[in-house]
Amino acid sequence: MSTLAIILDKSSFQMLNIDEIVMLHNYFLPCITPVLVMEVLADLKKEEEEGKSSKEKVILLAKKLLPYKSEVNIHYPRLIEMNLRGDKLSLDNRPVVGDIIIKQSASGQMGFYHTQSAEEKALGQWREGKFSKTEELTAQLWRDVTTEKDILVNLQQQLKKEDAGTVKLKTLEQVGNYVDEVLTNPDNQKGLLQFCIDEFGINAESANETFARWEQYPDKRFSSFAPYAYHCCRVKLFFYLGLKNDLIGTKPTNHVDLQYLYYLPFSLIFSSNDNFHKKVISLLMGEHHTFVTGEELKMALKELISYRETLSEKKDIERTLKEPPQIPSNLICQIWSKYLGWPSKYKREISEKEMDEQKKKFEEFIAAKEVPGKTGVMDDPEFIVKEYFLNPDDLCPCGSGKKLGECHAKNYAGSKSD
């Protein structure tokens, strides 16, 4: 499975059909944000489209959020709180996941056993058309709040009343520069810490612990004290100032779309077809990130699917499950080339003996035992095992696009997979 993490917002995600989704998962590691999960659930209370109920639509969307080649990222407020309190977060463009148990294999190797998150369990139920009363109420509440017409209009009016003497910013580039000046000013550092605590609803206990740590911290720079919290503050300040200066619109969903930008440090590629994202993304993502519109992503995936349909040799078809066909003009091929130095000049076939040894090693990792009293996060786990549950109607993890019951689970009655 590819380690190239990609985040899709709902506008990009819902553009892709199931064949394109399968192809996407063959070449990327989708980082599923909790905001996307909530947007999917909220469709339960969306007006029904002709020929399809809102429930049927959520079932279809949940099935497209494949559980075996994706990761659900920890919700950003929790990550901000962890970062402020001193927990080390790896901002290395990979998803940050919770529900981890540290285990040790028979040969002494240490690694992670990643159990299902609450979101993954919920998605599993939704794929089967099971929705609790609480979920239905949550969906209605989310839709009521996020479609409230005056939510950003009122916020904009409030922002304009504050600091009336502030210099008028005429472009989003000026907003970005101004925000960076504010964030790097030595006189603002402690105030920014308080802004972060207030804006992201950090509880009193964590706030006290944060300020106690700040007093002992030798480098009085917010950016080094809590890098992830700093990123989120930069995004929010940018949004507030853009809104205040009439450079960002008051469309209610802009407030929801903002949340996707808090997760940028946990991916290399971000895809959206939303006008708000297209307008601001170049000023908020890092130089090493790549932004892809929904149209571009769909076109690239569609091209690769069409190419694969021309192949007749089994080995050639199977190769496309692991790496994209070599089409230099294709956007996905260009991304692989950019980040992975692909295609490699040197290819080595794995022998049957090596495959056998790898299989035994996988079995050893799956059977690893929990280490009593061992908690926290390891910087360099020697193995990672992810738990997920599938039923026969779910797509097979092999990437073929077939249902599990028609592919690799023809002879199995169980539904649990690791």
For 237-272, the pLDDT digits (tens) are: 999 999 999 999 999 999 999 999 999 999 999 999
Do 60 and 123 fall into the same domain? yes
- Four-CA torsion 353, 354, 358, 364, nearest 10 degrees: 50
For 321-337, the pLDDT digits (tens) are: 889 999 999 999 999 99
Do 133 and 190 fall into the same domain? no
Instruction: Kindly tell me if the per-residue pLDDT of 414 is higher than 50.
Output: no
pLDDT grade for 417, boundaries at 50, 70 and 90: very low
Do 58 and 132 fall into the same domain? yes
Distance CA 151, CA 113 (A): 42
With CA atoms as reference, report the closest residue to 242 among 279, 274, 292.
279
pLDDT grade for 346, boundaries at 50, 70 and 90: low
Whose tokens are 């106690």? That residue is 212
Do 131 and 165 fall into the same domain? no
Do 324 and 241 fall into the same domain? no
Looking at residue 398, its pLDDT comes to 75
Last residue of a domain, one of 332, 353, 374: 353
Mean pLDDT of the chain: 88
Q: Report whether 76 contacts 265 (CB < 8 A).
A: no
Instruction: Kindly tell me if the per-residue pLDDT of 105 is higher than 70.
Output: yes
Instruction: Kindly tell me if the per-residue pLDDT of 165 is higher than 80.
Output: no
Structure tokens at 356: 């056998």
Residue 263, in any domain of the structure: no
Last residue of a domain, one of 222, 251, 280: 251
Count structural domains, the chain: 2
% of the chain beyond a pLDDT of 90: 59
Averaged pLDDT, 307-333 = 91
Do 185 and 138 fall into the same domain? no
Instruction: Kindly tell me if the per-residue pLDDT of 294 is higher than 50.
Output: yes
For 181-236, the pLDDT digits (tens) are: 999 999 999 999 999 999 999 999 999 999 999 999 999 999 999 999 999 999 99
Distance CA 233, CA 217 (A): 19
Give Cβ neighbours of residue 32 (< 8 Å, ≥ 6 apart): 65, 70, 71, 72, 73, 119
Instruction: Kindly tell me if the per-residue pLDDT of 164 is higher than 80.
Output: no
Do 15 and 139 fall into the same domain? yes
Q: Which of 72-86, 140-154, 257-271 has the lowest mean pLDDT?
A: 140-154
Whose tokens are 């199995």? That residue is 412
Q: Report whether 398 contacts 69 (CB < 8 A).
A: no
The length of the chain in residues reads 418
Do 11 and 140 fall into the same domain? yes
Do 238 and 349 fall into the same domain? no
Residue 269, in any domain of the structure: no
With CA atoms as reference, report the closest residue to 403 among 415, 412, 393.
393
Last residue of a domain, one of 336, 353, 370: 353
Instruction: Kindly tell me if the per-residue pLDDT of 299 is higher than 80.
Output: yes
Residue 317, in any domain of the structure: yes
Q: Which domain holds residue 307?
A: 5-75+90-98+117-145+293-353
Looking at residue 111, its pLDDT comes to 86
For 375-408, the pLDDT digits (tens) are: 655 567 788 787 777 777 777 777 777 777 778 7
Averaged pLDDT, 152-158 = 93
Instruction: Kindly tell me if the per-residue pLDDT of 412 is higher than 60.
Output: no
Q: Report whether 59 contacts 65 (CB < 8 A).
A: no
Buried b (16+ CB within 10 A) or exposed e, 206-243: ebebbeeebeeeeeeebbebbebbbbbbbbbbbbbbbb
Q: Which of 32-46, 141-155, 199-213 has the lowest mean pLDDT?
A: 141-155
Structure tokens at 309: 């349909």
% of the chain beyond a pLDDT of 70: 92
Do 243 and 230 fall into the same domain? yes
Residue 198, in any domain of the structure: yes
Can you give the pTM of this predicted structure?
0.89
Looking at residue 384, its pLDDT comes to 79
Do 57 and 71 fall into the same domain? yes
Q: Which of 103-107, 172-176, 206-210, 370-374 has the lowest mean pLDDT?
A: 370-374
Structure tokens at 214: 């700040």
Whose tokens are 């819902």? That residue is 14
Distance CA 307, CA 23 (A): 12
Residue 340, in any domain of the structure: yes
More confident residue, 111 or 175: 175
Distance CA 43, CA 380 (A): 39
Do 43 and 125 fall into the same domain? yes
Residue 64, in any domain of the structure: yes
Residue 323, in any domain of the structure: yes
Residue 261, in any domain of the structure: no
